[in-house]
Structure 1
Amino acid sequence: MTAPASRERDASRRDLRRDGGRLVYIMGASGSGKDTLLRLARAQLQGQDRVLVAHRYITRPAGADEASVYLEAAEHARRAALGCFALHWASHGLAYGIGVEIDAWMDAGITVLVNGSRAYLSQACDRYPGLCAVTIRVNAETLQSRLAHRGRESADDIAARLARAQAVFDIPPDCEQVSVDNNGDAADAAAELLAIARRRCHA
């Protein structure tokens, strides 16, 4: 790569970096209840709350509990190439994306909650320095029960997800991280999550 091309690439990366002070990036193992908590948090929003939950674009049909839009794999890839996603990643053979509309929302002073990926946190922090990473925590027994109940994975898939839930993921040293316990009443955990978002509105 020539020097001018390298400088152009670096400048482009700087252009993509945005203040993430109004971004709440939700993480947790599959089955930890992220979608449920986001749905319940959205239901608790008041008219004066400047908070929105971003939907995801996923290459599988969305469940009833999800704020998600299904896209075929080819269309998802096409939109990624066109720059339609602020964040996008692959996991368990699926592709996920968060639309660039969240940039306009944050520019308007709105705090945005997104259902993200632990493995993609470093890239998210690179684009949105200042984001708040929230880990949804559940114990192994609760996680196994939830995965089995939703009926989406095979026994081998559940075992793989349980193993991945114990994996250690890198947290950027300057990334703000908090945890929300979701072993009890989901409404209480959702209220805690919403309180985090509301504090970001006034930070």
Structure 2
Amino acid sequence: MAAAPLILVVGPSGAGKDTLMDEARRRLADEPRIAFARRVVTREARPEAEDHDCLSPDQFDRAEAAGGFVLSWRAHGLAYGIPASVQELRRLGQAVVANVSRAVVDEARARLRPVGVVVVTAPPTVLAERLAARGRESADDVLLRLQRAAVPPPEGADVRVVVNDGSVSEGVEAFLAALRDLARG
């Protein structure tokens, strides 16, 4: 049996990836063919930020060196990883959804087939409003994140785009449709 798809969720900061993923996770709780990876980040858990597992930078480096992550990357002064344990879920037939950096999409496509990509995006004005409202970054950091948003997203037959500029409900419905489409392989 071939592995189920790894579905990579990418998009600029402020596009609403965490909001869409949280609601999709809740709505798909009884759908056994789709699972959600829990990221590991070298940032303390905070109620206003994404829910993730925390490691110190040294712990992360050791886990990475020991093969503990199927994908890992650095961004914004932090290290991020998707646990290698997701591979077992895929072998058991569950598509796994993971919030990742655009920088690892090509690596995942080369090593972890089949892979699907959901690009969550919003217009620059919406991104700027959302980044300012969450209050996690300085004005300079917000500007840097907005500049990164201009980087072209991944393209290809394995990509679905969700423009998240309306209500949360509209965004979730579009996101769920993209996940279900890609989960079919």
Q: Same fold (TM over 0.5)?
A: yes
Q: In the TM superposition, what is the alpha-carbon distance from 1:21 to its structure 2 partner?
A: 4.8
Matching residue within 22, 38, 41 for 1:55: 38
1:187-198 paired onto structure 2 within 5 Å: 187-198=169-180
Whole-Å separation in 2 of the counterparts to 1:117 and 1:80: 17
Structure 1 residues 63-98: Cα deviation after superposition (integer angstroms, max 9, x where no partner): 435231111111011100010001000011110000
Matching residue within 107, 126, 130 for 1:123: 107
Matching residue within 68, 82, 85 for 2:52: 68
Q: In the TM superposition, what is the alpha-carbon distance from 1:130 to its structure 2 partner?
A: 2.7
**Are 1:42 and 2:25 matched, yes or no?**
yes
Counterpart contact for 2:64–2:72, Cα < 8 Å: yes
Counterpart contact for 2:3–2:92, Cα < 8 Å: no
Residue range with higher mean Cα deviation, 73-82 or 117-126: 117-126
Gaps of 5+ in 1: 1-18
Cα RMSD over matched residues?
1.9
Equivalence for 2:78: 94
TM-score (norm 1): 0.83
Q: In the TM superposition, what is the alpha-carbon distance from 1:199 to its structure 2 partner?
A: 3.1
Counterpart contact for 1:39–1:66, Cα < 8 Å: no
Structure 1 residues 126-159: Cα deviation after superposition (integer angstroms, max 9, x where no partner): 1223311111010111101111111111000111
Q: Which amino acid in 2 is paired with 1:195?
A: A
Identical pairs, percent: 35
Counterpart contact for 2:6–2:113, Cα < 8 Å: no
Give the number of equivalent residue pairs: 183
Whole-Å separation in 1 of the counterparts to 2:120 and 2:3: 20
Equivalence for 1:3: none
Gaps of 5+ in 2: none
Q: Say which one has the larger Rg.
A: 1
